[in-house]
Amino acid sequence: MGSLEEAIEGLKKFLSDKDDAAVAQIKKLITGLQERDPNEYDPVKRILEGFQHFKINKFDKHPKLYDKLAEGQWPKFLVFACSDSRVCPSHILDFQPGEAFMVRNIANMVPAFDKLKYSGVGAAIEYAVSVLEVQNILVIGHSRCGGIERLMTHPEDNSAPFDFIDEWVKIGLPAKVKVQAEFGDLPLEDQCKHCEKQSVKLSLCNLETYPYVQMGLANKKLRLMGGYYDFVHGKFELLEFEPHFHHLFST
């Protein structure tokens, strides 16, 4: 018998020999328990089960790895991914503990260098590149991105502004402008898809505005990559961004 049923049965035993007020109260409690959905989502139970599963199946099974990770981290990747619940790179690219320093924000955006406005992103890049010395930066966009959709539809749709979201997604404005210029005749859904990809390219360009990224690229110690996860069709694309000059001539 489940704990819920036990509780109800226990309360029923009290009904026979109590006064009216107590009986009413007990009946109310029983009704409340009976109406409770046994499948009701219990957030605490959810994270406890998740943690126990991790501890038993991963942490305890790989003591050497986790002992080493307790002393430090040496990730090869800095990853920018969207906060969307469906696109965690630990799932889609199977990143294990220690492999990827991971920033997640709305629409996986990297703004250009600005110490006042975007210190959060800057801190992550500075830490990953200068302190952890990651070798690769990977920006991953995805299909049906709510942030990109907001960028593409607002303010033209006259919807009420979202103070913080709108301020953030406007980092992607150059991508929106380019997509509208080239693909403005396509349906919105297709324009959004183009913008999801164009925004990744924009973010890669913006990465170049960070001095430590510039140095890493110049010293060939850093590579920049863009990814696109399409969860509608189960596809992944990857491309490398190689900003450099071709020497044409000197006299």
Partner 1 sequence: MATLLPSSFTKNFNSSIDYPITSFQTFAIFGPKLKTEQTHFRLSTSFNVRTGSPLELKAMKEPPGLTQKLDKNRLDRLAESENGCDLFEDLKHRFLRFKKHKFEENLGHFQNLAEGQAPKFMIIACADSRVCPSVILGFQPGEAFMVRNVANLVPPFESGPSETNAALEFAVNSLKVENILVIGHSRCGGIRALMSMQDEVDSSFIRSWVIVGKNARLNTKSAASHLGFDQQCRHCEKESVDHSLVNLLTYPWIEQKVAKGELSVHGGYYDFVDCTFEKWTLDYKGSNFGKNSRLPVKNRFYWC
Q: Which residues are annotated as a binding site for Zn(2+)?
A: 82, 84, 142, 145
Q: Which of 66, 133, 153, 214 binds partner 1 (CB under 8 A)?
A: 66
One-letter amino acid at 116 equals: L
From residue 230 to residue 249, what is the string marking binding to partner 1 with x (rule CB under 8 A)? xxxxxxxxxxxxxxxxxxxx
What is the CB-side half-sphere exposure of residue 47 using CA atoms within 13 A? Answer: 2
Q: Is 205 a catalytic residue?
A: no
Instruction: Note whether 227 and 141 are within 8 A (CB).
Output: yes
Is residue 133 near partner 1 by the rule CB under 8 A? no
Q: What are phi and psi of 140, to 5 degrees?
A: -115, 120
Spot the catalytic one: 142, 150, 194, 195: 142
Q: Which of 51, 61, 189, 218 binds partner 1 (CB under 8 A)?
A: 51
Query: Looking up tokens 């409340």, which residue turns up?
Result: 32
- Give the three-class secondary structure for 220: coil
Q: Which two tokens stand for residue 11?
A: 């309360």
From residue 3 to residue 42, what is the string marking binding to partner 1 with x (rule CB under 8 A)? --------------------------------------x-
Q: Is 194 a catalytic residue?
A: no
Nearest C-alpha neighbor of 98 from the set 79, 80, 81: 79
What is the CB-side half-sphere exposure of residue 1 using CA atoms within 13 A? Answer: 8
Q: Which is nearer to partner 1, 192 or 225 (CB)?
A: 225
Is residue 125 near partner 1 by the rule CB under 8 A? yes
Is residue 220 near partner 1 by the rule CB under 8 A? yes
Instruction: Note whether 120 and 83 are within 8 A (CB).
Output: no
Q: Which of 152, 202, 213, 222 binds partner 1 (CB under 8 A)?
A: 202
Q: Is 163 a catalytic residue?
A: no
> Any idea which residues carry the catalytic annotation?
82, 84, 86, 142, 145
